[in-house]
Structure 1
Amino acid sequence: MHIAPFDNENRPIVDVDDALVPLNYFNIVKLKAGERFRYAVPGYETCIVPATGTIDVTVGGQSYDALGTRTVDVWDGEPEGVYVPVGMTAEFTCLTDGAEIFIAGAKYDKVLEPFDVRVAELDKVQYGSDDTKTHRKIKHILGQQQADKVGRLLVSELFTVGQGGWSGFPSHKHDTDRLPDETRHDETYNFRFKPNYGSGVQMLQREDNKPGDAYHIMDGSTICLDKGYHPCCVLPGYEMYYFTILGGLSQRSLKQYFQPTHAAQLHTIPGIMDMVAKFK
């Protein structure tokens, strides 16, 4: 499902027990200097990630000062985040002229401990090639390095390398718990483009070799994925970014099932298996 860009007025874009992606939660909060935002999400663990701006965060009596390094846009520096345990109250205050903050969440039933993820603790991977039109890099905020601290939530940022090209290819899905072949993970994206008047296409093919759907994505578009194969692409001349939330039903580690029609191309894209291994 495509949710077109709109002013959500700091209210959840994907709320708890969403009809399509009940394992996910997503909010965008925009603040001016000195403004505060306070929230708690019962039944969901969450992660606070400034898209731009710098904030002070408090969670469960713990303080995490000066979170966020970016000013102009998501390309302007590295991401940082704070993990918020299930149902715990978090509050953050804007330190810069303005800030845009992503709140990512996944359904979970245990209360863990809060922690922060700074630039030095990011888990990065780059794969693909210009020749295969699949060159991109991924910055894991809650990734493999945080596996023992988090319940079901995976949070990352994905960037195309260069202008134009494809992401999420070879096409894969993760909508059914049937280990060892696949896990059920609901997924939510929020897209940005550089320049911001760029755009792209999100494909969604629910069955192999049968026609699916395509959504025209723009700067600020949100995509919710409950099932099906879901590659996306950006127009030539533009760069694409998407904030990625994955929530697992029975485990945190993601097991992707690659579309049989295109699975042979796994062997043509440099570094793709290293990428797959990081979603743990």
Structure 2
Amino acid sequence: MAEHNEWFFPRGALSDGSWESVVDARLDGWQHTGMRVAELAGDTVELPAGDVERIVVPLSGAFSVGHEGATTHLAGRSSVFDGPTDVVYVGAGNALAISGFGRVAVAEAPTRVRKPSVHIARDEVPVELRGAGRDSRQVHNFAVPGNETSPGTLDAAALIVCEVITPAGNWSSHPAHKHDEDVPGHESQLEEIYYFESAPVRGANAPQNADAFGSFATYRSAAGDIETNALVRTGDIALVPFGYHGPAVAAPEYDLYYLNVMAGPGEERAWLISDDPRQAWLRDTWTAQETDPRLPYVPTTQGAAR
């Protein structure tokens, strides 16, 4: 049987040097995705060239990313609850250096395929309002594969990355679903990283020491045993090597955010999921409900925090 919460890592549990958290193949049983999170105060973190593609995602603040003899300036945002940010994709084979003020994440996937680096501006990020009623959430699809109706924003080799904002009291990653076996046209085999942040709901008269949190769950599928049932706070990370995952639930007083990073062993970069058949029916209930009127979340202040 799976050990309870063995794939859940509280903030700082994966620290490595200047990085608050590092997820990579050094973790037993993990091989297709990676993530790094750092908090910078004008200093610089560097990553070497190699067979790895990366996306730099400002969580809060603004940053400069040096790569391929040039510098990409990321305007960033005040917080993850201020809607999408601009990001930069740095193709495999390139070193990079990140400097600035604030919190920054780097999504990674090992690959030998070389794709051109690209800056995606904030207003180029597709914003999707998914679900309805208390299942309403906001998704920033800046690095997801294309389909018949959309060419996709980023032509990456393996990385699939998006952000989700779940307003206070709502549910996301719901219904529970999986992507742990390769079924052409139906399901992709993908590892997934969840990086969380939480904060008092907009306009709340919350004290400085308010303990903002949400919750997240995973459970077994035919691919393997997994059991996560954790309260999640800013900086926490949950890994999903296989199994059903969801829901992610925002407490009534706190908004919840997560950054998803996915990649897998398949040659096709595709994001195809299978709902838990016992929960799939709830999607049909959305047609009779309105989208949460609090969405979309857009900036509440001008410019990024500095």
TM range (shorter): 0.7 to 0.9
- Spell out the pairing of 1:161-172 with structure 2 (5 A cutoff): 161=167, 163-172=168-177
SS in 2 for 1:268: helix
1:176 aligned partner, one-letter code: E
Which residue, out of 11, 24, 43, partners 1:15?
24
Give the C-alpha shift of residue 155 in structure 1.
1.3
Partner of residue 222, structure 1: 237
CA–CA distance in structure 2, aligned partners of residues 100 and 148 of structure 1: 23
Compared with structure 1, are the counterparts of its residues 216 and 181 closer, same or farther at alpha carbon in structure 2 (3 Å cutoff)?
A: same
**Contact 1:181–1:257 (Cα < 8 Å) also in 2:** yes
CA–CA distance in structure 2, aligned partners of residues 81 and 211 of structure 1: 32
Give the C-alpha shift of residue 77 in structure 1.
4.9
Q: Aligned pair 1:32/2:48, yes or no?
A: no
SS in 2 for 1:22: coil
Over residues 146-190 of structure 1, what are the superposed CA-to-partner deviations in whole Å (9 max), with x where a residue is unaligned?
4662111011110013x1121111111001112222111110011
1:200 aligned partner, one-letter code: G
CA RMSD across the alignment: 2.3
Give the C-alpha shift of residue 62 in structure 1.
3.3
Gaps (5+ residues) in structure 2?
1-6, 201-209, 289-306
CA–CA distance in structure 1, aligned partners of residues 195 and 238 of structure 2: 7
Q: TM-score, normalised by structure 2?
A: 0.79
Partner of residue 181, structure 2: 176
Q: Aligned pair 1:137/2:172, yes or no?
A: no
Q: Which runs of 4+ in 1 moved over 6 A?
A: none
**Contact 1:18–1:24 (Cα < 8 Å) also in 2:** no
Partner of residue 272, structure 2: 255
Partner of residue 70, structure 1: 77
Give the C-alpha shift of residue 124 in structure 1.
1.1
Gaps (5+ residues) in structure 1?
272-280
Compared with structure 1, are the counterparts of its residues 81 and 148 closer, same or farther at alpha carbon in structure 2 (3 Å cutoff)?
A: closer
Q: Aligned pair 1:267/2:298, yes or no?
A: no
Give the C-alpha shift of residue 112 in structure 1.
1.3
- Spell out the pairing of 1:1-280 with structure 2 (5 A cutoff): 1-6=7-12, 8=15, 9-11=17-19, 13-16=22-25, 18-33=27-42, 35-40=43-48, 42-65=50-73, 67-71=74-78, 73-94=79-100, 98-130=101-133, 133-143=134-144, 144=146, 145-146=151-152, 149-161=155-167, 163-195=168-200, 197-207=211-221, 212-231=227-246, 232-250=248-266, 251-270=268-287
